[in-house]
Structure 1
Amino acid sequence: MRFLRRLFSFLFRIIILIFFLGLLIFIFPRIARNVKNIKLFTPKPQIVKNIEKDVEEFLIENYRGYYDIENFKITSTEETDRGLEFTTEFNMTLTKSPNDLPFIKSFRENATTDEAKDYAKYLENYANNFYKNKSKTSLVFLMPNGKSSFGDLKFPLHEKTLELSAIKIDEARLSSLGKSAAINYKKTIGEGNYDRKEACTYALEHYKDEPEYENNCANFVSTCINKGGISEKGSFYPGAINWITTGFKNDGSGLVPYLTRHGFFYQEKFRGKVEPGSIVYWTDASHVALITYQDTVTMKYTAHTKPRRNEILPLGSKTIYFTPTSH
């Protein structure tokens, strides 16, 4: 009897030990990821302090006449192989009337068909949603290795960098694109009742959620558009290839091929017609994001795997756009 009690006691301890070991194996990776993502306060490097005011003044002057820039701050810095990256945040308020924005104005003046004229009114109406409303905005800068002055700053991309002029408002270019878009306007109709606003709201509220995958960009965008009304159906569901990959392999699988093949989204070549709730796809990297702000002058996106919220998308990025076929 005593032997059985000792045996049961021994087995019980073994079971408890196995249980706790299994628990550790299960939760440790998640704890490690959380610790890795925690950003403790660190003083700004002197190199950033020296140019902070210059960066703020650059943004104010660059957007003068179109936007007010307020509450500028540098929120984080990161040492990379290319140099020091730092993230800026600020409130950006559209102050120029949507009727006078170059793309919209030119589109309206060159619209000849009834459908194009209707779309011109639609453009003005949705741009009005941003007029005089503050938009919390972010923008990442790069100080290349061995450099230290404001004039050396770049915008970092996946494999290259862009000059600061990439966010300059080019009125002539916008007007030309508006004219071309109006002349070549073709109405697109697709299936579904996609709510762009719901998709954007989810993205802006959940951009800091813990990534489910090491490369989580497609999974994040899929979740956002699913919240906006693109339902789980057939080969589109959490964990499926068409949900968690971008389509970069060009083999017919992935998020973008699925959405275009089934008529939910179409490729839009005119940046001014790319509305919030659309998808931006980097062609030089397997990366997608959700457009969460677009007033026809400035476009911003929200994304994983690095959390990005309303980050300005500069011109010169190797990107293509996919916009919903339903409103």
Structure 2
Amino acid sequence: MFKKRRLSFLVAMLLILSFIPTAFASANNYNFTSISRENEEAIITYVCDQVIESYAEYYTIPSISGQIVSLITESDGIHATVDVGFKKILLAKSASELPYIKGLESELANITDDNSNLLAKEQIDARKKDLDDNYIGKEQEENATFKVIIPIAKDGFSIEESTNVEICFQSETGEMNMSDFAPASESELFNKGVEEIDSILKSTDIERYVEIAAKTNPSSAKDYDRIKARGYVRDYSCGKCTTSPHACRNKNYPFYNGNDCANFVSQAIHAGGIATESNWKSGTNTWVNTGYSSSIYGLKDYMVDQGFFFASSNKNKAMAGSIIYWTSYSHVGLVDQNDTVTMTFCAHTNDRKSSSFKNISDVSFYIPVWDSYGGVWTPQN
């Protein structure tokens, strides 16, 4: 899952000069108790450069920094784990310049039926409003973790300029190639927009306004303000907080050590305007459980059955305020940014704030039925 990159001459020279072993146990097991500050900076610079390169097609990055959080030696070299935080600004000057929106508008021009054209245009205009108001020209925070393997020669532990360094992005479910960390190509995003028109047209008014037979929550779908929910998860996530309970938590709620994810997302949804009731309030199964276990009726089940969210595999639909649900283990988070190019999320246990989201195969999204910012019903299919 690693991508090999050649070190720049400057970085390589710093590594050659500053890797000094303080002890070694055997020919195949080198142990470093410390490295120079220059060498730390060389590793961090290398990783930051890879992030900038990966995002260069769509973003300018006005600020970026990193820190080494783990450094161990193995038989194949030094393994460094690096946390990187950065601010990014879309290069596009308007939503219409984004390839996904271009795809939507290109296909819109081919719709001849007036009613269908109106429905599709309503959805496109709502998405463009969100993008123009909340993303275009705005700094977006993003945080990510990377693993780097730096081969070390036995004779002197030097690294030559030609040495290949391996780097990967660490997602919630494992290591991913840097090619997967980079956004999709312009043509891929354009085609996603084209495909989305078909999805919009297949969503009928009946599907969007369906009555909920077993509804117990007094709130309506229109009561959920997804932007307020987004603000909540940003306010109460620190980003890699290692204390338990998290220092950044809302102390008005209990904290569940090692298992606070659903509790945190429930708090955000309530802060977004959905009322509590006897079946969904702090401490109930529907509040503190994700719904991963088939034997426990959890958060995702309740939100669908009450008509607030719908399940989808479509990442492009997952606007800020949507739930991310991991299907390979019990975990949820809340999307806080989706500009059609990249997505970030916030979560608890593990603590994440505006964290890079790249998974595409082991998640489902639970998306608000009503888009409170765009003022439209979200197409469901």
Same-fold call, TM cutoff 0.5? yes
Distance 1:318 1:130 in 2: 27
SS of the residue corresponding to residue 152 of structure 1 reads strand
> What's the counterpart of residue 304 of structure 1?
348
Q: Write out per-residue CA displacement over residues 163-206 of structure 1, whole angstroms, 9 at most, x where no aligned residue.
A: 01112222222222211111121263473311111111111111
Q: Does 1:184 align with 2:181?
A: no
Q: Is the 8 A contact 2:167 2:177 kept in 1?
A: yes
Aligned position for 2:330: 286
Q: 173, 186, 197: which is aligned to 1:171?
A: 186
Q: How does 1:14-163 map to 2 (within 5 A)?
A: 48-75=40-67, 77-78=69-70, 84-96=80-92, 97-111=94-108, 112=111, 113=116, 114-128=118-132, 129-143=134-148, 151-163=165-177
Partner SS state of residue 194, structure 2: helix
Quote the residue 2:216 is aligned against.
none
User: Residues 74-107 of structure 1: CA distance to partner in whole angstroms, max 9, x if unpaired?
Assistant: 1461469x96432111111122131121111111
Q: CA separation of 1:73/1:133 partners in 2, compared to 1, >3 Å: closer, same or farther?
A: same
Residue in 1 that maps onto 2:255: 212
Deviation at 1:44, TM superposition (A): 8.7
Aligned CA distance change for structure 1 residues 100 and 225 (closer, same or farther; 3 Å): same
Q: Partners in 2 of 1:134 and 1:267 — Cα distance?
A: 30
Judged with a 3 Å threshold, the aligned counterparts in structure 2 of structure 1 residues 107 and 146 are, in CA distance, closer, same or farther, namely same
What code does the residue aligned with 1:63 have? Y
For residues 369 and 277 of structure 2, the distance between their equivalents in structure 1, rounded to whole angstroms, comes to 18
Q: Deviations for 1:262-284, whole angstroms, at most 9, x for unmatched residues? A: 11100133211211000111111
Corresponding position of 2:276:
232
Do structure 1's residue 267 and structure 2's residue 311 form an aligned pair? yes
- Equivalent residues of 1:144, 1:154 under 8 A apart: no
Using structure 2 for the length normalisation, give the TM-score.
Answer: 0.68
Query: How far apart, in 1, do the equivalents of 2:144 and 2:323 lie?
Result: 19
Matched residue SS, 1:176: helix
Distance in 1, Cα, partners of 2:104 & 2:228: 27
Of 208-217 and 282-291, the range deviating more from structure 2: 208-217
Q: 3-state DSSP class of the match of 2:355?
A: strand
Q: 1:174/1:239 Cα in 2 relative to 1: closer, same or farther (>3 Å)?
A: same
Q: Which amino acid aligns with 2:343?
A: M
**Identity, % of aligned positions:** 26
Amino acid of the structure 2 residue aligned with 1:68: T
**2:369 maps to 1:325:** yes
- CA shift, 1:306, in A, is 2.2
Contact 2:48/2:64, CA 8 A, preserved across alignment: yes
Distance across 1 between alignment mates of 2:320 and 2:334: 8
Structure with the largest fraction of helix = 1
* 3-state DSSP of counterpart to 2:302: helix
Structure 1 residues 250, 173: closer, same or farther in 2, change over 3 A?
farther
3-state SS, counterpart of residue 121 of structure 2: helix
Asked if the contact 1:157–1:317 (Cα under 8 Å) also holds between the matched residues in 2, the reply is: no
Corresponding residue SS for 2:126: helix
Structure 1: which 5+ residue stretches go unaligned?
1-41
- After superposition, the C-alpha distances for 1:119-146 in whole angstroms (9 at most, x for unaligned) are 0111111011211111122111123697
Alpha-carbon distance between aligned partners in 2 of 1:295 and 1:199, rounded to the nearest angstrom? 17
Please give the alpha-carbon distance, in whole angstroms, between the structure 2 residues aligned to 1:44 and 1:265. 51
More strand by share: 2
SS at match of 2:311: strand
- SS at structure 1 position matched to 2:130: helix
Number of corresponding residues: 286
Matched residues in 2 for 1:196 and 1:183: separation?
Answer: 25
Change (3 A) 1:273 1:316: closer
Cα drift, residue 301 of structure 1: 0.3
Return the offset for 1:157.
3.3
Does the CA contact (< 8 Å) of 1:162 and 1:316 recur in 2?
Answer: no
Per-residue deviation, 1:159: 4.4
**How many Å separate the matches in 2 of 1:144 and 1:244?**
38
- Residue 16 of structure 1: aligned partner: none
Distance 1:43 1:259 in 2: 50
Question: 1:213, CA displacement in angstroms?
Answer: 0.6
